[in-house]
Structure 1
Amino acid sequence: MSTATSEEDLTEDERRGLELVRETGGIHQSDFWKEMDVSSRKGSRIIESLVEKEMVQREETVYQGHNTYYITPAARDLDFSLLMAGDMLSPFIGEEEIDPESDAFSQWMMNLAYEE
């Protein structure tokens, strides 16, 4: 069920939790509640709420021998600007190998140079 909300609708704890996940780029749930200085139960509730609000993503993992979750920022928070040159996406994104002498790479580099 999608219940996407804006950050203004978050509680203070949710806002702090989201900021922690963004600052770290990803954190294990067991470290999350310790960093937040809340109980594991409260930490789990904060994460659950952020997942439901599509602010973070949660993936099962094993950390220090225990089953836990790894929490990362939602994909919509990712910054692709470093892969762009003008309106062109880097030719190195994708499955195929790129010839550095190809027209696609040359055009991308020229667009990158013109941005400065």
Structure 2
Amino acid sequence: MEIEETALEVIAKHENGVFQNQLWKELNIDSRKCSRVIAKLLKDGLITRESAVDNGARTFLLKAAHKEEPCFELLLSGDMFSPCAGCRDACQPESCEKLTAWVLNLSKDNVDDQEASIIE
């Protein structure tokens, strides 16, 4: 495992972040090597860094960057994609047949999920 991967794992396991001066001690590397590792992780967008003070010493607080992935599941109802996504119709939601069918399918999905959990 490369040192960058190890460093990223250590940073990620600290939910509130880890100080850079603690990281190089935890990784058992010198501060210069740690700075190069941090620079690469920053360049790749895998971590964030903000100025901080730890025991009176200036350092940086490092946190794992949380990349938001598209969540298309929220637009799905069974195998139906939300009819409103990209819709150009100037309809009223209360009278849209496509939206009504999609919402009813959502309700059906919830009932199916509840029945499945009762059977188990």
Q: Which runs of 5+ in 1 are unaligned?
A: 1-10, 79-85, 88-110
The total of aligned residue pairs comes to: 75
Q: With the length of structure 1 as denominator, give the TM-score of the two structures.
A: 0.56
| Aligned partner of 2:48 among 53, 57, 79 | 57
Runs of 4+ aligned structure 1 residues displaced above 2 Å come to: none
Question: Who is 1:43 aligned against?
Answer: 34
| Aligned partner of 1:20 among 1, 6, 10 | 10
| Aligned partner of 1:71 among 40, 62, 66 | 62
| Alpha-carbon distance in structure 1 between the residues aligned to 2:18 and 2:8 | 11
Identity %: 31
> What one-letter code is carried by the residue in structure 1 that aligns with 2:45?
E
Q: With the length of structure 2 as denominator, give the TM-score of the two structures.
A: 0.55
Question: Who is 2:99 aligned against?
Answer: none
Report SS of the residue matched to 1:67: strand
Deviation at 1:27, TM superposition (A): 0.4
